[in-house]
Amino acid sequence: MPGFGLAKKAAEIYDANPEVEGLLLLNHGHFTFGPTAQKSYDLIVSHTNEVAKYLNLKEPTSYKISEPSRNLSFLPVLRGLIAEETGSAESSMPVFDLRNSADVLDFLKRPDIEELSKRGMASPDHVLRTKGRPLLLRKEIWSSGREAIRVELTKFKNEYRDYFTRNAPNSSEKKIQLKSDPKQAWIEGVGILGIGDNLKSASAAADLVEQNLRVRAVGEDLSGFHPLNEKDMFDCEYWSLEQAKLGKGKPPQFQGKVVMVTGGAGAIGLATAKAFAAKGANCLLVDINQANLEDALAELGPWHKTCCVDVTAKGSANTAVDVAISHFGGLDILVSNAGTAHGGSMLELDDDIFRKAFEMNFFSHKNFAIEVAQVMKNQARPGQLLFNVSKQAVAPGLNLGAYGLPKSATMFLIRQLAMELGDSGIRVNGINADRIRSGLLTDKFISERAKARKLDESTYMAGNLLKLEVEAKHVADVFVSLAGMERTTGHVITVDGGNTSAELR
């Protein structure tokens, strides 16, 4: 381990030969030094290029995240089982980062993959984020279903316990076993996973694992890959100074939760995603406009993803779910928020308008809910479906029948799904909001509705018992609150500033 003894030895060698350019620490790393930071950096580049030339390495290690694929439908099963097998709390779920470059897939075809999986990581620092060994899933295992995967997870858990039991008694101080959940997985024919408490930590693990695959392959093919022995690896993994790198403290409320928000680039959708992200969730924004999605993602920040689809198009729910699985491993919360309003009297609107209204304001909600619920059932862990309904579902507005009718059906959908999914631990709740400035309630639409009620616009927007305008952030806060109500399902909350005609009870 680094420390005072190493510093003394390095000083002795340097005093004997001040021309040395750096340090090579076996089983640890490569360091250079010089009179300036630039000089040290240039030496690192020079040394590395010399080694790359010697080893005939001409291309950089590739880092590629997978394209969405239905072949990944087993990942939610694995995700739920990891949480279950490691005894995690109901609310805790791992997040995956999948890499499947051609180099990764070629490595997983090696005949010695099982032996190489047991060799440990190239550096002790890596052990902290990867546990030193992967969960290895052969194709015949992951393609065989839940119980076959469970057997491999149990085996991994038991082997980690045995590793701890062998090495802990040799330590100078008492050690407490860490959680036995895998932090990396090698999946034959699919790719490698970094596994973490959120996408940031999963991505860090995936970077290390992918880079280490090449180290293993090059080392083994030339003279043998021989990193730390088990005792040294244990000492590093359980060294308090190394553990401190991972940080401590209470995790955010929604850490490990993956949230899909439809209409995610709109005012309510983005506000909702921001509210969940602020409490630790990773979000997938679903919207029809790619440019708006890119702007929204820039506001939301890193470790979130987007999916550009028309939620009314056939197969769009499947596509969005595949993106969520590819980027995160599964889903925990759906905020079905996308919607649009069509104005006009019942006697004037033709059936095409009504059908379009139902496609957006009912069938898109229904289709996304069903696809996401299937993922949640595969995870066999608690989940939640949240719907943005509308006060129109219970209190019709003048010339808004094409909007209110499908919204009424969506409110019934909440109750139906709550009844059918309750025994799977999937809660279903909704919000009846009113008069929120958004892509739905545009300035033009606000003007039209105000005129229909013979009011000025400011009075129309504050037309509630509180005499205050309701904003997108208020809706977002209630979505987050609903997600935290662990014993509430089949419920609809009004977010309208008070509207007696729209009260449910």
What is the arithmetic mean of pLDDT over 125-143? 91
Rounded to an integer, the average pLDDT of 87-107 is: 85
* Residues 6 or more apart whose Cβ sits within 8 Å of residue 119: 216, 225, 226, 227
Q: Of 142-156, 227-241, 339-353, give the lowest mean pLDDT range.
A: 227-241
Residues 7-29 have a mean pLDDT of: 90
- pLDDT at residue number 438: 81
Percent of the chain whose predicted confidence (pLDDT) is above 90: 72
Catalytic, 403? Answer yes
User: Please, what is the end-to-end C-alpha distance for the chain in angstroms?
Assistant: 67
Rounded to the nearest integer, the mean pLDDT of the chain is 92
Above 90 in pLDDT, residue 309?
yes
Q: Each residue of 390-426: pLDDT tens digit? A: 999 999 988 889 999 999 999 999 999 999 999 999 9
Q: Helices (DSSP H) in 100-257: which residue ranges?
A: 102-107, 113-116, 124-130, 139-142, 146-167, 199-222, 230-237, 240-243
CATH architecture for residues 258-437+471-502: 3-Layer(aba) Sandwich (3.40)
pTM above 0.85, yes or no: yes
Residue 319 to residues 67, 323, 325, Cα–Cα distance (Å)? 11, 6, 10
Stretch 281-294: mean pLDDT:
97
Q: Which residue has the tokens 């059918």?
A: 420
**pLDDT level of residue 1 (50, 70, 90 thresholds):** low
Tens of pLDDT, residues 448-483: 878 888 899 889 889 899 999 999 999 999 999 999
Report d(CA 134, CA 28) in Å as an integer: 20
- Average pLDDT for 431-437: 91
Task: Fill in the amino acid letter for 189.
Answer: G
H helical segments located in 359-453: 364-379, 401-421, 443-452
Confidence bin at 199 (pLDDT 50/70/90): very high
Res. 266: pLDDT tops 70: yes
Percentage of residues in the chain having pLDDT higher than 70? 95
Instruction: For residue range 59-88, list pLDDT tens digits in order.
Output: 887 766 666 666 899 999 999 999 998 766
Of 160, 163, 238, 403, the active-site residue reads: 403
φ/ψ bin of 375: left (φ > 0), alpha (ψ from -120 to 50), beta (otherwise): alpha
Pairing, β 191-196 against β 184-187: antiparallel
- Express each pLDDT in 223-248 by its tens digit: 899 888 888 889 888 887 766 666 66
pLDDT recorded at residue 485: 96
pLDDT at 126: 83
CATH annotation of 70-245: 3.40.225
